[in-house]
């Protein structure tokens, strides 16, 4: 595995690979890799000649009161895991390399980036779209792999790709979960044992609402009450949102219509904020 830290070196390498007729796939990460990240790399390995995994904790997607400084980091461990999973090139720039003095340009996807996560983390998606756009220009990938766990992020990036006519194919990999259902996340390390146990309520709640929908419930207000009641039994420290959105537009809905909707949760356990989601099939209502 080759490790590249300079933007110009990565650009030169990408140009060389393209001249050679090689296809490139990028897997953007903020490091502290877990099995969820590794599953993205494994998916990438099946769709292109060269897998580039990026390792960059992006400061512009963290708010002033968020956990940028304490976000877990272990680059040596990440290097070993990334290589074992099938990475050909690890692009690991530092902050000054990605945002040199004088950097003033940002990428904003309006509308979709201001609701839900965008409401609770106002600068978050501006940071995400800016850094992903930069990574696309640096790595020059034919494809990019992201995980379904960050469902709104996927929707925002898809919108950016379409609106800016970026020639990058977006591949969405399914959520990878622990044995007890908790979605894998680098932030899970912040949970103490009691919080970690309580956090499994996220997946149980999503499974329960899927059953409610399967039995015919379509009223989102009813479903939201059921979900909130289940979460309240789990000892959380706050619910930011419990909602349903159209899979394609990501607009919130008040009544479920087919063929699919996305159920979304953002819940705090102690000081740790976790998100989760599930794509739920919705069969047509019987007349």
Active site residue ranges? 37
Give the CA distances from residue 9 to residues 12, 14, 239, in Å, rounded to whole numbers and listed in that order.
Answer: 5, 9, 44
Cα dihedral 81, 132, 69, 270 sign: negative
Give the CA distances from residue 244 to residues 91, 96, 169, 263, 287, in Å, rounded to whole numbers and listed in that order.
Answer: 36, 39, 26, 5, 23
How far is Cα 76 from Cα 245, in angstroms, rounded to an integer?
Answer: 39
User: Could you write out the three-class secondary structure of the chain?
Assistant: CEEECCHHHHHHHHHHHHHCCCCEEEEEECCCCCHHHHHHHHHHHCCCCEEEEEECCCHHHCCCCCCCCCCCCCHHHHHHHHHHHCCCEEECCCHHHHCCCCCCCCCCCCCCCCCCHHHHCCCHHHHHHHHHHHHHHHHCCCEEEEECCCHHHHHHHHHHHHHCCCCCEEEEECCCECCCCCECCHHHHHCCHHHHHHCCHHHHHHHHHHHHHHCCCCEHHHHHHHHHHHHHCCCCCEEEEEEEEECCCCCECCECCCCEEEEEEEEEECCEEEEEEEEEECCCCCC
**Residue 249 structure tokens:** 């537009």
């Amino acid at each position: 595995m080759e490790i590249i830290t300079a933007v110009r070196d990565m650009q030169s390498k990408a140009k060389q690979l393209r001249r050679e007729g090689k296809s490139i796939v990028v897997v953007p990460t903020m490091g502290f890799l877990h099995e969820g990240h590794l599953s993205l790399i494994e998916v990438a390995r099946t769709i292109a000649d060269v897998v580039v995994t990026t390792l960059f904790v992006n400061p512009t997607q963290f708010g002033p009161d968020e956990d940028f400084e304490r976000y877990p980091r272990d680059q040596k461990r990440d290097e070993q895991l990334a290589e074992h999973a099938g990475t050909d090139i690890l692009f690991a720039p530092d902050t000054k390399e990605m945002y040199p003095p004088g950097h003033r340009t940002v990428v904003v996807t309006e509308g979709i980036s201001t609701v839900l996560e965008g409401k609770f983390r106002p600068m978050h998606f501006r940071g995400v779209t800016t850094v992903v756009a930069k990574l696309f220009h640096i790595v020059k990938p034919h494809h990019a792999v992201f995980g379904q766990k960050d469902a709104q992020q996927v929707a925002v990036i898809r919108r950016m790709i379409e609106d800016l006519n970026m020639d990058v194919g977006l591949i969405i990999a399914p959520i990878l979960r622990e044995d007890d259902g908790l979605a894998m996340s680098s932030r899970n390390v912040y949970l103490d044992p009691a919080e970690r146990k309580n956090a499994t309520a996220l997946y149980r709640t999503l499974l329960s609402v899927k059953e409610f929908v399967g039995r015919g419930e379509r009223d989102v207000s009813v479903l939201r009450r059921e979900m909130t009641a289940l979460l309240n039994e789990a000892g959380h420290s706050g619910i930011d949102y419990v909602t349903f959105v159209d899979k394609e537009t990501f607009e919130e809905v008040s009544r479920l219509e087919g063929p699919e909707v996305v159920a979304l949760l953002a819940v705090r356990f102690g000081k740790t904020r976790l998100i989760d989601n599930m794509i739920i099939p919705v069969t047509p209502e019987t007349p």
